[in-house]
Amino acid sequence: MNSKELYEALANHEGDARFSWFKHERHGYPPFIFNLMTGKDRALLYQWYTETQEQWPYGDGASGFTTMSTVAGFLLGSGIRSMVQCGHYVGFSTIVLGLVFRYMGIKNAMYSMDVHETAHEYTLKWVQRFGLGNYVHCVLRDSSDPANIVDARQYFSGSIESVFIDSAHTYSHTVKEINIWWKEISPGGFMFLHDVSDIAKSYDVDNRGGVKLALLEHLDEFSCQAMLINSKWKNGSIYTDPCGLGILQRPLGSSLV
């Protein structure tokens, strides 16, 4: 299966929001990440889409190709060699970013956590099917648990250069994740946070402001460069993910605690 064939198969597939990127008027082309994959990879990804639609009807909230293309661009453009992932659920972002790291030839590149046992086992199955075991390490543990820090440090051959947060979406949990992982990022490294829009506040089951409020409260403390994309999303936005994306860069010269 080539890139165009996979794009057309997904664009013509009847389904939920997980297929929406391929049906958007702006996206009349395969995502560039398809070009980093083998024909077998593309066939497997199509199987992942169709199988998750059947088995995980609430799995359509995963970071789509708008977010993944942006994050992958940072990885590829800067040669980022390590990423901590907070929340992998049924594995879409883990698979895609794992394939990016494989293309870059960087092993032991992603340390990924999730607390949902069944979803975690499902992701493990697909990581193995894609042959990504040397590039991705998945752990069944809450991503706000400090015990992850020691394990992540041991897993990576070098420092932690990036963190991607897309987990519980609550204000309180996101605050814990930011507090734990920000100080672990190498100076100049990046933290990416999905769901920073006003729309995504509704994902906070505690109704306390979600990821956006947790991030905004920390910006004053961090004194770092930051961008909130689609913070106030409206129809017609050029960046098509209504959930938004926060990108923070740890200042050069800041010391690791």
Answer whether residue 47 is part of any domain: no
Answer whether residue 148 is part of any domain: yes
Residue identified by tokens 């923070």 is 248
Which phi and psi (to 5°) does residue 22 adopt?
-75, -10
Rounded CA-CA distance 122/56 in Å is 10
Answer whether residue 109 is part of any domain: yes
pLDDT digits (tens, 9 = 90+) for 44-100: 999 999 999 999 987 766 789 999 999 999 999 999 999 999 999 999 999 999 999
The domain tally of the chain equals 1
Mean pLDDT for 32-51 is: 97
pTM: 0.95
Domain that holds residue 201: 63-249
Lowest mean pLDDT among 3-12, 92-101, 118-127, 229-238: 229-238
pLDDT of residue 60: 67
pLDDT of residue 237: 93
Answer whether residue 229 is part of any domain: yes
- Is 6 a residue whose pLDDT tops 80? yes
Answer whether residue 255 is part of any domain: no
Answer whether residue 108 is part of any domain: yes
List all residues 6 or more positions away from 96 whose beta carbon is below 8 Å from its beta carbon: 33, 65, 68, 72
Answer whether residue 99 is part of any domain: yes
Answer whether residue 26 is part of any domain: no
Mean pLDDT for 150-162 is: 94
Give the CATH number for residue 108: 3.40.50.150
